[in-house]
Amino acid sequence: MHHCGTDSPPRKSTMPSPAETLALTPALIARLRACRRAVIFTGAGMSAESGVPTFRDAQTGFWARFKPEDVASPQAFAADPQLVWDWYVHRAEIVRGARPNPGHQAIAALQDRFEALAVITQNVDRLHQQAGSREVLELHGNLFDLKGFEDPDANTPPSMHCALCGGPCAGAGQTITDAAQREFEGLRLAEGAVPACPACGCLLRPAVVWFGEFLDPRVFSRARDLVAQCDLLVCVGASLAVQPAAGLPAAARHHGALVIEINLAPTSLSGQCDAFLQGAAAELLPQLVHLLDSA
Ligand code: BV8
């Protein structure tokens, strides 16, 4: 008769600890835990697990034939407003169906573990704000606001901009009726003809920063200040292919911050940061929170 032995001793959890998962050295963990002012810099890889395709993922279906750089530009909009509008409608519909993933939620949770924490994102999907992040700098604008299109070659003086949509118009003496205000506020990226501003008639476009356009100087100078003052920068899901955003993580390193990178694949930052954590944002960011929680 085979006696089964006493119950086998409870198995030690085989789950690796956050420190093991992240493969961070004790010295680096200690340094991480001492950080007080954090910047989380994110690219499209941050939203990949929310189902939002990155630029570098092959565009699917009808859009496979376009290079984003060739559609996301004022020249492309000037040449064919409806084509560019339709591409953004396609992307806005994907984003509207997306929800923050555990990576976005982990970043929102980190806010309570630092004296100061800001998100600097290249993304235009507002998933960080949906997850509860309070200070989010959108370097490249967002998909949800519209603004008047201005031909890149026109140098309209500031006084000649529409008070409602910011686009070029007759300017001086313009009155914005309540009806025009309400109509403008009801407009968004949706199927159909490219809408015109109800006050000045110029074509409307998504309030994103296109290739060849300047970033909002107030946003970019605030981003540079935060990067200069932080003692921790975590760079998540960014190919660092686009300037001037791509220079920010290395600038944090230059100012002496601890720089940790999370990406599926190495980038130009990987060899010069303090830790390159190869993996998915939605898996590794929650591990970082657990690590800081277990301090
Ligand atoms: C400027 C908003 C001054 C729009 C974007 C020639 C002519 C004109 C300009 C230039 C030129 N040569 C260079 C320039 C400058 C240009 C530039 O950098 N071009 C590149 C192509 C070389 N930059 C500009 O034009 C900027 N303005 O310079 O003004 C000026 C003015 C006039 C003339 C000259 C200069 C403005 C750039 C802003 C462009 N707008 N987005 C929209 O969304 O439609 S950029 C867009 O692409 C994104 O915002 C992002 O920043 C960038 C890269 O996109 P992706 O590759 O998809 O995303 P990401 O980089 O984040 O890559 C995905 C990463 O995630 C990968 O590393 C992957 O491994 C990783 N990943 C994937 N899944 C996961 C993951 N990681 C973790 N977990 C996962 N699950």
Instruction: Express each pLDDT in 218-240 by its tens digit.
Output: 999 999 999 999 999 999 999 99
Ligand 1 contacts (CB < 6 A) are 43-45, 48-49, 54-56, 69, 72, 122, 124, 140, 208-214, 237-239, 241-245, 262-265, 267, 280-281
Quote the pLDDT of residue 97: 97
Q: Which of 119, 99, 76 is nearest to 208 (CA)?
A: 76
Quote the pLDDT of residue 60: 60
Quote the pLDDT of residue 157: 82
Q: Is a pLDDT exceeding 90 seen at residue 62?
A: no
Q: Is a pLDDT exceeding 50 seen at residue 152?
A: yes
Question: What SS3 state is found at 96?
Answer: helix
Q: Is a pLDDT exceeding 60 seen at residue 2?
A: no
Kindly calculate the radius of gyration of the chain based on its CA atoms and give it in whole angstroms.
Answer: 23
Distances (CA, A) of 47 to 70, 141, 158, 208, 236: 22, 16, 36, 17, 10
Q: Which DSSP state fits 132?
A: T
Cβ-contact 165, 199 below 8 angstroms: yes
Q: Is a pLDDT exceeding 50 seen at residue 3?
A: no
Span 169-187, mean pLDDT? 85
Q: What percent of the chain has pLDDT over 90?
A: 77
> Higher pLDDT residue, 120 or 55?
120
Top-ranked range on mean pLDDT: pick from 7-11, 101-105, 175-179: 101-105
pLDDT classification of 53: cutoffs 50, 70, 90: confident
- The model's pTM is 0.92
- Two structure tokens written together for 260: 């940790």
Q: Is a pLDDT exceeding 80 seen at residue 56?
A: no
pLDDT classification of 123: cutoffs 50, 70, 90: very high
Q: Please give the distance, rounded to the nearest whole angstrom, from the Cα atom of residue 204 to the centre of ligand 1.
A: 22
For tokens 């107030």, what's the residue? 218
- Two structure tokens written together for 8: 């086998």
